[in-house]
A and B are shown apart, each in its own frame.
Chain A
Amino acid sequence: MEVYINSTGRYLPGKAIDNEEIETVLGLIHGKKSRLKNKILKSNGILTRHYAINQQQQTYISNSEMAANAGNICIESSYLSPSKIEMLSCATSQGDLVLPGFGSMVQAALNLSEVELHTSHGICSSSMMALKAAFQNVKCEDSKNALVVASELTSRLFKNSRYEQLESNEVDFNAEFLRWMLSDGAGALLLENQKRPTGTSVRIDWIKSFSHANSFPVCMSVGQAKNEETKTWQDYNSYAEAEKSGALLLRQDVRLLDNIVSVGVQGFLKLIAEGHVDINKIDHVLCHFSSKYFKSKIFDMLETAGASIPENKWYTNLYERGNTGCASIFIMLDEFIKSHNLKAGETIFCMVPESGRFNCAYMHLTVAGNE
């Protein structure tokens, strides 16, 4: 059974926010401008992004509503009526509610009846896990179709008031880093067991991922305070206490971040060695890299080894749409498919490295046509 992506959709809340405006939305920590902001923005290269909170730091659209908006846009441009959707597979790094699963909330917002439901939880690669579950379900003929939605609302974690709760009053680099990296948005894909005569149908050839959590410490997290070895957020007497100690801040251990490059390349070389990818036959590369800073000696070596893919084949909308975590790859696919006149047989290689505890997902797509 072949599985096709027949429709895509994205939803980015509000207007695009440029670098100058970020702090008017997220707020000034203790009334002071950040000293790190420009340095981090310069290195990630992001120019505009969207936030689901307003200038008073109030949420004006929830995570599940954003997901539903992207899902609806996707369904509306498809051949299917919402009542025909058989599976809903969702991903986010943090839903509006801690429980139930994000998928339940999105299903209700979309008003889809009696779907098979899946929620995958993680960071950037969770959307690929959700997509894989849906892909397998259609592939093994359990469902004729599946709607996959990934959505993120991380700005709530970046409000000035969050940082101001810290008892130590000191925001360290690792806690502030992601404030200038991540923003909000949702993306959706509709999978079907047949291609459609109009619009672009893209066949999913395979999805694979390699996780290395056993080899590395946690690199990106919410739930543990700085220098805290064992205690996590629910182990405090109260959530207020956890927040005061910094256990609820989104943190990135930047010293470990470099490892994501070798992890990503290791998996890539493994896929080549196993014959899943032929570099010369890749027409487009969509990689969810978190910033411009993605070059290293390994890439020079790949080039020398004839295993690099020319830069003109790479596509990204990171700089205009922002880094929306797990939603990024779907938002990227949506805009890429809609803005390119793709020909039957063209191949798309997708890659989603996640620094959380080092997982890297890969996907190979082929544009379908009248073969």
Chain B
Amino acid sequence: MENTVLTPLGQSCLQSLLKVWLDFDLAMNQVPVVKRLEQGRLSLEDYQTLLLNLRQQVIEGSRWISRSASSFDRDYSDVRSTVIGHSKEEHRDYLLLEADYVATGGKLEDIQSATKNIGSEALHGFLMYRATQTNPVDLIGAMWIIEGIGNKMATRWSKLINEQFAFDNKATSFMDYHGENDESHLQELYNLIDRVATSTKNNEDIVRTAKVVAKLYQLQLEEVDNA
């Protein structure tokens, strides 16, 4: 991959973000449903419940991205363009989750009528709140975490699930989708980091939001077993 040379502040921001990601990655191993998935003890019901829970957050996930786009003012119009592109790309991801759910034998009306779990509520609420602030550059930290999870799903979880179950039709399209264009997404993130990691204050905000999003995402996964 052709690396964009990051500025010193951008590098320091990426370094901190990488640490937040690795801390989160370790913490995820403690989440019961993730533990079962990683250790090959996931039941079909578990996978269905996971899809059902993820869908409720994902269907509204693009809302915070679109809203944050509109919160960037004229000084950040270039960032706004990137964010709009991102939002357009992902705002129908929930359809993949629904298709996967049906492919596992679930009923479409069940996944469509379910509600958000407690963690998803908190995550969605936090993201919508941040997205409403003027020039919410810290949301790059949120994108970093969400992108990281997408990558983990595509490169690891999908493989594990397909090893464990034999579905007639592809039932991991949501997870796999996030592996495609991974390199270009990463490059896009690097560009964004370079663009907004222009002060220590911005870096602190970005890292803090990454930490909050990681924690709330963890809560969302924990709540999969309580839904």
Contact = CB atoms under 8 A, between A and B. Distances in A.
B74 to A, nearest CB: 30
B182 to A, nearest CB: 9
Contact of B18 (A215, A217, A302): A302
A306 B27 CA distance: 25
B132 interface: no
B29 to A, nearest CB: 4
B30 A304 contact: no
Contact of B22 (A214, A266, A303, A306): A266
Contacts of A300: 1, 3
A270 B23 CA distance: 9
Interface in A287-319: 298, 300-307
B15 A269 contact: yes
Contacts of B25: 262, 266
B49 to A, nearest CB: 22
Contacts of B26: 212, 215, 262-263, 266
A273 B18 contact: no
B19 A304 contact: no
A272 interface: yes
B11 A306 contact: yes
A304 B194 CA distance: 11
A265 interface: yes
A216 interface: yes
A154 to B, nearest CB: 27
Interface of A: 212, 214-217, 262-263, 265-266, 269-270, 272-273, 298, 300-307
A269 B17 CA distance: 10
Interface in B8-54: 8, 11-12, 14-16, 18-19, 22-23, 25-27, 29-30, 39
A305 B30 contact: no
B39 to A, nearest CB: 6
Nearest to B16: A273
Contact of B30 (A214, A262, A263, A266): A214
Contact of A298 (B18, B23, B27): B18
B15 A262 contact: no
Contacts of B30: 214-215
Contacts of B19: 266, 269-270, 273
A150 to B, nearest CB: 28
Contacts, number: 56
Contacts of A302: 15, 18
Contacts of A303: 3
A304 B6 contact: yes
Of the four ranges (under 10, 10 to 19, 20 to 34, 35 or more), the interface on chain B belongs to: 20 to 34
A298 B148 CA distance: 11
- Which 10 residue pairs spanning A and B have beta carbons closest together? A266-B22, A306-B11, A305-B14, A269-B19, A215-B29, A305-B15, A307-B15, A304-B3, A305-B11, A215-B26
A163 B3 CA distance: 48
B72 interface: no
A217 B16 contact: no
Contacts of B18: 265, 269, 298, 301-302, 305, 307
Nearest to B19: A269
A173 to B, nearest CB: 15
A298 to B, nearest CB: 7
B11 A304 contact: yes
24 contacts: A215-B27, A262-B22, A262-B26, A263-B26, A265-B22, A266-B23, A269-B19, A269-B22, A270-B19, A273-B16, A298-B18, A302-B15, A304-B3, A304-B4, A304-B6, A304-B14, A304-B190, A305-B6, A305-B15, A306-B8, A306-B12, A306-B15, A307-B11, A307-B15
Interface in B109-161: none
A307 B14 CA distance: 10
B147 to A, nearest CB: 12
Contacts of A214: 30
Nearest to B155: A297
A306 B1 CA distance: 16
A29 to B, nearest CB: 27
Contacts of A298: 18, 22
